[in-house]
Each structure stands twice: as structure tokens, then as C-alpha cells.
Structure 1
Amino acid sequence: MENSIFVLGFWDYFAFFGYFAVLSFIGWWFGRKKNDSSSDYFLAGRTLPWYVVGSSYIAANISTEHFIGLIGAAVIYGISVATGEWSTVIAFTFLIWLFIPYLLTSKVYTTPEYLEKRFNKKTRLIFALVSILANVFAFMGPVIYGGSLILIEFFNLSPINACIIIGITTGGWAVWGGLKSVAFMDVLTILIMVFGGLTVTFLGLVYLGEGEGIFSGFSKMIDVNTGGIAWAKDWIDINVTNILKGSNVGDNYNRLSVIQPLNHDTNPWTHWVFSFFYIGLWYTVINQTMVQKIFAAKDMYHARAGMMFASFLKLLLPVIVVIPGLIFFAMKPEFLSSSDWSFQSEQANKTYIVMVNILVPTFMKGILLAALFGAIQSTVSSVLNSTSTMFTIDLYRDVYKKSESEGHYINVGKVSGIIFLGTSVLFAIILSTVTKVNLFVLIQALYTFIAPPFSALFLLGMIWKRVGGKDALVTIIGGFAMAGLLKYLEFGPLQDSTSTIANIIKPFANQGLITWVFSMILCIGSTLITKKPTGYQVSDDLVFNINGEALKEGLGTKWYNSIFLWWLLCVLMLVGIIVTFSVIL
């Protein structure tokens, strides 16, 4: 299959810039009102309805990690990379039923602020600092780098110029208008991304069908990905050694199974089953970038309903950002013939761009590029807004200047946002010039290093009143020490080893699980020998209580807006997906 040169026509440019004109108008309209308080700027005055909460949450989550990294990873690894998206429904379940009531009744601006109320100030400061660093180097930097690949491919820009342009065009409204501008812009972004993503999937299946329709194309996609065609079987047989650590050429590998062995490079079954505990708790519940939308909800019902809406979007997401990778594999891209695994992984990052070029007609091409840039814009804006919020509220105001005017804090938020954006652009430039790693793999590896200690602490601290501030510090420090040790073993003594232990430790998902288990044990052990916390730190507003009134709020008043009914439907759909991609196919 030849990859033709990317050419944009007049109507493509019209659609692309038209989208940004509408998006900018929305950003201006909802940010035009003067922000009189920190709550207005950082939390949209706590006025967001459920559809904005859910849309903005998912829009912040979808980025080049998905359209560039995840689709590319699906070309290489198959359907298993979708498990991170589908398993999020489990995390959202805990968020909807357990954590939202306590996050909202605590009346905080940020999750670090919540952690101070529950544990102590040191825990708040450590979490805020780590979160800011993670936002710059694990979120914004890689996302801007992924966006630069698009500009390089489309407009033949240098990596440096591409990163600078992406940074400026995606972060501006977050600095100017605050969360309200970002959140309402995200509603349009989600609409365009879903429509555009489904279009690529549909056209890809039509292409594979070769005139016989979409069902014929789907059948061919399944056949090729299961090795039903000679070249595909040969590719799987040869490259299984790169996918399953310690395997031999010709060993079995099922590209259409969500259940993979422990030695899988990126998605062992432990990732599917336990990822909520060592990544999901951090990413969905205490990650300020995500949770800031929940803090900004009108009330408990809109917060819960917003996350219910987000759950259904998560079930749909792999159809948009994973299935195209399976389709592209079936189209037999030329780079799969290379014997260089790193080259294949790097070239797979361009999958979405190439598919748009090959499959999509003029005007629609502009819409799809707008969807891709919308994903970048929404993520950078949300991360930038949350980063400046934590810096201003948790570090500047709480530690340095506690009695300044509201306008002063808003200005600090804007200036710090510009500085963080510039730092992220510099990191993106480094990534674009020195690395060839798959974007999805890079980001997931960073997540599994950062998340486990905080996930363990938050889970135990939420359900067990015995956990105190000293236990929190022991868990965080010890957890990061274990994460660092595992990385040292991966790239040091075990780098060239093919032993069973090495094959289990090397996958970053397994490292995340090991670190989480160690952090849980450490926290429990510390808790049993330290003094029991007292007072507000263990009040019913901060720690789980089965009889707590907050758990019963915002569940809906009619059958059609019942949170329980929609949650049950979502869980049944998730079970159906697991059965389909582990038993049927």
C-alpha cells in the first residue's frame, strides 16, 4: 500500500479554520465576563451542567496519545491497547458511587487541598509538586509533541517551529478565559471528535470491503488481524518476540484478545484487571486536570450524571481510536515489512494521518484534522488550567501569600500558565528531536511510575480512618523508591536478561502493579504502628461512611435520569465487550 503525499484543498482549509473560528468564538463568549473571584476563573463559578462536565472530562482525556499514540499502538499490538479505555468504566464506577460525594462536600478547589484536610500539609505540597511536574512532562509535553508530528507531516515545518505553534494555539484560551472557556469549548470538540473519528472507522471498513460493503470490510479486518492471511501470520510469528517478553518466533499471539499474558509488553491481563488501582485512582479521582470539572459542577447530580455520560463515551472511544489501527494493519502498510521494531513503532504513530489522507474526501479531511487539533487543544487547555490552579492555590496562596485580592490570584494563575506552557513546549521540542518511542507507550510508562503510591494512599485513606499524615508520607516516599528501583532493574541488571523474573518486571504495567502492592503494604504497616489521627481529618465529610448523607444525594428523581439505571446499562455493555474480545473473536 503506497502512502500518497498529503494534499489539502481549499475546502479542507475552510473547514479546518472554520472550526477554529467557531471554537474561538465559544472561548471568547464564555470567558468574556470578568472573573470576580478565584472560583469564577479556576472552577467556572461551580456552574457546569452534566453534559459539559462529561464532555470536558473526556475532551481533556482524549489527545494525541489517542489519535497518534493509541491508534499506532493498535497497529502493533492489536485490540489489547483498548483495555485502558474500557477499564476506565470501572474507575468511573468508584468515582460516581464513592468519591464524588466526598470530593464535593469537602468544598475544596483542588485535590491537593483535599489531601491536606485528610492527611497533612506536607502531603498536599508533595502531591501538588508531583502533579505539576507530571502535567508538564507526562501530559502537555508529549501531547504537544504528538501535535507537532501533524504539522510536520502536513506543512513540512521543522520540529521546533511545529512545537511552538502547537503550544501557542492550544493554550491561549485557557490562560485568558479560565475553566469556563475551556469547558464549553470542549463540548464542540467532543462533537467533532466523535463524528470525525467514527467517519474514519466507517470509511476504513468500506475501503477494506473493496466494494462489497462495510460488513465485508469488518470480516477482512478480523481475518487479517487473526493471522488468516499469510503475510499477517508471518508478521505475528516474527514479531511476537517483541510483544511477549521471553517468547520465541512462532509462539501464539492473539491480536483480538483483551486478555494477554503477564509478559505482554504493554497490556498484560494485570493491566486490564488492576489498572484502576494503580493508575485509575490517580488519573480519574485525584488528578486535578480531570477532577477540576467535577469540582465545577452545579451540584451532586450534575457531577454524577456528567461522569455517567463520560462512561458511555469511554465505551465508544476505542471504536474511534483503536479499531482504525486494526483496519490499518489489514491494509498492510509498507513499514510492517521492516525488520526494525523501533522503526515500525515510530511509523505507526502516523497511522491516523495516513488514513485520513487515503480515505477521506476534501472538506471532510479538514473536519478530521480539526478533530485531531481539537483533541490537542482541549487536553493542553485543561492541563494548563489545572496546573496553574494548583500552583496558585496550593503553592503560591497557601505557602507564600495568603491575603491578596482575588484579582491578584487570577493574575498569578495567568502568568504561571504562560510559564508552564513554555516549559512544556521546550520538552516537546526535546521529544521531537531525540526520541523515536511510541507516544502511547511513553505516556503510559510515565503514568505507571507516578500514579501507584498516590493511588494506594488515596484508596486506603478514603476507606480507613486509621490512616494518618505520617503514614501518607511513608507511603509516598517508599512507593517512589520502589518505582525507581524497578526502573533501575529494567534498564540495568535485567536489561538483557530473558529470565522469568525479568520478563515479568520489564513491562511497565507490571511495574505499576508491583509498586502499588508495595505501597499498600507499606501504608498498612505504617498505619498499624503510628498514632491514630483525630478530629476533622477523619470526619464523615472526608472518610467513607456507609450511612453518610452525601452518598444518597444526586441520584436522579425519575427512572429516565436515574444514575443507577444508566450505570447498570453501562456495566452490561462493558461485560459484553469483554466477552466479545476474549471468547467470541
Structure 2
Amino acid sequence: MTTTMSFWDIGIILFYFAIILWIAQWASKSNKTGTASDYFLAGKNQGWLVVGASLFASNIGSEIILGVSGAGARANMPMANFEIIASLVLILLGWVFVPFYLRTGVYTMPEFLEKRYSKACRNYLSVVSILAYVITKISLIIFAGALVFETIGVPFWTGAIITVIATGFYTVLGGLKAVIYTDMVQAVILLVGAIAVTGFGLYQLGGWDGMVATLELASKTDGNPPTERFFNLWRPMSDSEYPWTGMLFGAPILGVWYWCTDQYIVQRTLSAKDISNARKGALFAGYLKLLPVFIFFIPGVIAYALLQKGEINFVLENADQALPAMINSFLPIGLKGLAIAGLLAALMSSLSSAFNSSSTLLTIDFYKQYKPNATDKSLVRFGQIATIVLVIVSLGWIPFMRSLMDGGIFHYLQSVQAYISPPIAAVFLFGLFYKWINAKGAIVALWSGFIIGIFRLVTEFMSKEGSLVVEKGTILYYFLEINFLHFALFLFLLCAVILAFVSRFGESKSEAQLTLVTFQKNIEIKNIQWSKDATLTVLLVVFVLALWALFSPIGLAG
């Protein structure tokens, strides 16, 4: 596919790069002490606006934009529920998890597990988190970024390498402070670019009513989905892809793991100056997470409508290219450059966050454990080298990843997370609220859930590749037929049962662990007054419920 980039478009993109590099340089120079705290946690003095914008920008990578917009073009609106449910889970992060994390003074989530349970639990989460970064974050972000470059005329692997080098430069240079401050600017560029694309697309279709009319006309052709399918968040429990039961009960489990226990996200709240700023940052990110329904999913629907009118061209089997196709072949001069800058902002913010988080895990949870007397300079240097190795491994995973992505980028991302997140979510949640949950129960539940989840992932991959023939009626057939969201729910419940059962017969906890699990009493919940944070929380819940009602069969009928 060729692109028609004008002088103004190129100028806007170059201006974007200049701003990002200037901010990264400023952030790196502001790390005056050169300590590990400065490099990995941005000095622990960040305000709520920076924390919230960084949470949003780190999460909204190009793989999310392409995946959600691709879902829009496929009429798979239930996928947008992952974005909406994230708003509710961020409330949990701000009110429940953040106080525990900040009071313990930890750098990483595995470090927190060691304080609560044992060294074995810490090692497990460190290894699984790094593997997860390779198969669900770094390689997927690089893949999506390369897809963006491919759409505008740059070969796939050339785009992948450009993506890595451009982002890795400022990440290695400035650490977390460079990441979160560039994230804040990139969040603004991303939102402006996405809103501009949405507005222009609707204008060309004659507004919302014009878009709906185009969809209705297309629905009369055999093979095209009915109009209401584009705007309905809920599907029957029997639906093979996105049953409402899986969305309502399975998706939150993925959300708890991702938003509340994953280093990639939680590291931003650890950089906050205090609990109040961390909580406000989480709530701010929760409000921002309501926007993707309108600025990512709807543009995918717009792209589909433009395809029906012959205005743009892409293949629905690879609908993840819908948004780049619309940007490349339809947007006017200037707006095209802004939109591409927005995609690059999303790409670079997520990738830089993944680089920094993996660097932190490898450095604090492995290198520092073996060299406890290592200097801050050697810690930073090791983290930089380890990141480069991870990038190489991630590039090698991309060919395998492509074969698993029949349902699109976003489906791949969520399904893989459904196989690895339930045991981690169970161990964190139950460990925070129940004293008697112990280390033996935690490690047995973690490994049991991991083995079952990886078995599902591997057998699913082999069956799709054709190297494993699964006959109908067998146990393995029914095992693979379970919807991935239902699978996440079942695996979570199984891990919870194992966790509770083994803990009842396990060893008692140490005094340090007993102190940690009684932090609830130190938070002084009884003395909390109704505050601005509480008001913002209730309002956020109301907005979520309003969206669910609007994009439901009842809302559509009204």
C-alpha cells in the first residue's frame, strides 16, 4: 500500500519527535542524583495528573488502537467492554491496592509478593511477568507498530526495527521519569489525533445518522452484519466469542491482574508522591478509559462504512488495518500527519513503558538479589542491557504470534492474558483480605494455574497450526471449546479453591507477613470522611452504567 504524505504531514510528525526527544532529554537531566529510585520510580514525587496520563498512555498502545478499531470494523463491539470494565478496576487499584503498595515501599510487584508470602512466590511472578511482556506486550506492540508503518508504505520488519530503536533511545536514557512525562504529552497528542479522525470521518458520512444509514444499507447485502450488531455491548451466554457472562465475570479477572498487580501498570502509581495522588491518578485514568469506545471503536465502524461506500480499501479478514487505511487514503493534508503522530505516540508510550518495567523487574528481582551490594550505576546499566536482550527475544516471537491472531490483535491479547492472569489475581486478592492465606497455598495455586493455563495456550496453538488433531467428543475437544473468558473465570475459581485448601494445612506466617496483611487496620477506614475522591468514584461508576445501558438492546430500542 502506498502513501501520499505531504510536506505538512511529514513536518507534523517530525515536530512530534522533536517534542518527545526534548522532554526525554529534560527528564534525564532532572535525574540529578542518579539513584535507582530516580531511574526506576521517577523519584517517587509525581502528581496525580502525570500518574493518570501515564497510566492511560501506557495502556493505550497502537495494538489497542488497531485492535479496538478493528473490532469496530468487524462489528465486535463487546470487545469495547474490556475498556469500560477497566474504569471499574482502576477504582479498585486506587482504593484497595495502592495503599498496600505505597506503605510497603516496594519497587516491584514480585517484591510485594515476597513480603506477603515467600521468595518462591516472588520468583514465580518475576519470571511469568517477563514472559508475559514478551508474548502480550513488547512483541505485540512492535508488531502493531510495524503494521502501522507497513500501511503507510514501510516494509514490516523495517518498521519493527525503527519502532524499537526510536523508542528504546529515550527509555534507556531517562528511565521512568522520561517515560511518564513523554507519556503525558503523548496522551494529549493521541487524544487530539483520535478525536480529529472520528470527527472528520463522521462529517464525511453525513454525521451519525449518515453512518447508521450506510450500515443499514450494507446490512441488506448477504454476509454483512446487521446494524445493531455494531452498537451492542452484550451477547447471549451461548455466544462463542463474547458471552455476557464471560464479559461480566471473566473480564474483570483479567483486569485485576493487568491494572492492579502487573508491574507494567502499577509502577506508575508507585511513582506518586503519596496515596492521595496515586488514587486520584487512578481515577483520572478511569475516566480516560471511557473514551476508547468513542475515539477508537467508532472510527473502526466509520472505516467499515467508508469501505461500503468505496471511499477506502482494506480486507475485513485483517480489519486491524482499518484505521491506518482510513488515515492513509482518506484524511486530508495535515490531519493525516496528526493522526499518524497519534498512532506513533500510542506505540512509543506503551513500548517505552514495557521496556522500563521489564528493566525494573530484571534488575530489582534478579540482578540485585544476586548482587545485593551493587551500586546504583551498575543496576541501571544491567537494566539497559537486559532490555535489549528482551527486545531481541520479542522480535523472535512475532512469527509465532501471527499464527495465533485469527481473531485480531485485541482478541489475541485478551485470550493470552486469560490463560496466565487468574492464578496471579487470586493470590493477590485473597492475600490482601485474609490473614490465614499463606505461602504454601500461594505457590501451589500459582503453579497449578500456570500449568493449566499454559496447557490451554499450547494445545490451542498446536490445533490451529494443524500439528495437533483434536477429535470431537473428546475431553480435550471440550476443554478447547470453553470460551476464553469463561476459562478465565473457571481457572480463577479453581486457583482460589486450591489457595484456600492448601493454606488451611500449610505452615503459619512470619510476624512480618502478619504485619503486612493487617494493613487494613492502619488505613483507618472508619475515619474516612466523604471526600472529593469518593464523589469522583461514584460519578465514574454512574458513567460506566450509563454506557452499558446506552449500548444495550434496551438502549438501542429506545
TM over 0.5: yes
Larger deviation: 265-274 or 574-583?
Answer: 265-274
Match of 2:224 among 221, 232, 235: 235
Question: What does residue 428 of structure 1 align with?
Answer: 398
Cα 1:429–1:412 change in 2 (3 A) is same
Aligned twin of 1:200: 197
User: What is the distance in 1 between the residues matched to 2:198 and 2:526?
Assistant: 41
Q: How does 1:539-550 map to 2 (within 5 A)?
A: 539=515, 541-543=516-518, 545=520, 547-549=521-523
3-state DSSP of counterpart to 2:229: coil
* Aligned pairs, number: 547
Alignment match, 2:360:
389
Question: 2:292 is matched with which residue?
Answer: 317
Give distance in 2, aligned partners of 1:386 and 1:550: 32
Q: Following superposition of structure 1 onto structure 2, how do residues 570-581 of structure 1 map, counting pairs within 5 Å?
A: 570-581=540-551
> Could you tell me which residue of structure 1 aligns to residue 514 of structure 2?
538
Q: Cα 1:160–1:259, aligned 2, differ >3 Å: closer, same or farther? A: same
In the alignment, residue 144 of structure 1 is paired with which amino acid? I
Corresponding residue for residue 410 of structure 2: 440
Alignment of 1:118-197 (within 5 A): 118-157=116-155, 159-197=156-194
Alignment partners' CA distance in 2, 1:188 and 1:255: 32
Q: How far is 1:195 from its partner?
A: 0.8
Choose 127-136 or 404-413, whichever is displaced more.
Answer: 404-413
Contact 1:471–1:523 (CA under 8 A) maintained in structure 2:
yes
Deviation at 1:277, TM superposition (A): 4.1
- Cα distance change of structure 1 residues 510 and 181 upon mapping to structure 2, 3 Å threshold: same
Tell me how far apart the structure 1 counterparts of residues 252 and 425 of structure 2 sit (CA, whole Å). 6
C-alpha change, 1:325 and 1:536, in structure 2 (3 Å) is: same
Q: Distance in 1 between matches of 2:88 and 2:494?
A: 22
Give 2:76's match in structure 1, choosing from 75, 78, 83: 78
Matched with 2:208 is: 218
Is the aligned partner of 1:49 residue 2:39?
A: no
The answer as to 2:20 corresponding to 1:23 is: yes
Task: Say if 2:363 and 2:382, in contact at 8 Å, map to a contact too.
Answer: yes
Aligned partner of residue 6 in structure 1, secondary structure = coil
Give the counterpart letter for 2:194 in structure 1.
Answer: G
Q: State the Cα RMSD in Å.
A: 2.9
1:374 and 2:348 are equivalent in the alignment: no
Identity of aligned residues (%): 29
Equivalent in 11, 36, 40 of residue 38 of structure 2 = 40
In structure 2, the CA distance between the partners of 1:29 and 1:433, relative to structure 1 (3 Å rule), is farther
Hey, what's the Cα distance between the residues in 2 that align with 1:289 and 1:552?
Answer: 32
Matched AA of 2:132 = A
**Cα separation, 1, equivalents of 2:305 and 2:473:** 33
Counterpart residue identity of residue 326, structure 1? V
Residue 419 of structure 2: aligned partner: 449
Task: Write the letter of the residue equivalent to 1:30.
Answer: A
CA contact (8 A) 1:163 1:429 kept: no
Partner of 2:493 in structure 1?
Answer: 517
In the alignment, which residue of structure 2 is the partner of 1:245? none
Q: Give the whole-Å Cα distance in 1 for the aligned partners of 2:222 and 2:33.
A: 60
Is the deviation greater in 364-373 or in 27-36? 27-36
Asked whether the 8 Å contact 1:64–1:146 carries over to 2, the reply is: yes
In the TM superposition, residue 511 of structure 1 has moved relative to its aligned partner by: 1.8
1:345 to 317, 320, 326: 317
Query: Which piece of structure 1 moves more, 76-85 or 120-129?
Result: 76-85
CA distance in 1 between partners of 2:79 and 2:66 (Å): 13
Deviation of 1:355 after TM superposition, in Å, equals 1.5
Which AA in structure 1 matches 2:208? F
Q: Using a 3 Å threshold, how does the CA distance of structure 1 residues 163 and 411 change in structure 2: closer, same or farther?
A: same
Query: Is residue 556–residue 563 contact of structure 1 (8 Å, CA) maintained in 2?
Result: no
Contact 1:102 1:550 in 2 (8 A): no
- Identify unmatched segments of 5+ residues in structure 1: 210-216, 238-251
Structure 1 residue 115 corresponds to structure 2 residue 113: yes
TM-score scaled by structure 1? 0.87
Aligned letter for 1:198? I
CA deviations on 1:223-257 (whole Å, 9 max, x unpaired) are 555x56544664237xxxxxxxxxxxxxx983422
CA gap 1:147/1:473 in 2 versus in 1, 3 angstroms: same
Q: Does the Cα contact within 8 Å between 1:53 and 1:294 map onto a contact in 2?
A: yes
- Separation of aligned partners in 2, 1:503 and 1:470: 28
Does 2:354 match 1:408? Answer: no
Query: In structure 2, what is the Cα distance between the partners aligned to 1:323 and 1:474?
Result: 44
> What SS does the aligned partner of 1:350 have?
helix
Q: 1:484 to 1:428 in 2, by over 3 A?
A: closer
Q: Secondary structure at the match of 1:466?
A: coil
What do residues 71-104 of structure 1 show as CA deviations (whole Å, max 9, x unaligned)?
1122113321110000011211211111111111
Aligned counterparts of 2:8 and 2:217: Cα–Cα separation in 1: 40
Q: Residue type matched to 2:224 in 1? A: W
2 CA distance for matches of 1:27 and 1:13? 21
Aligned-partner residue type, residue 344 of structure 1: L
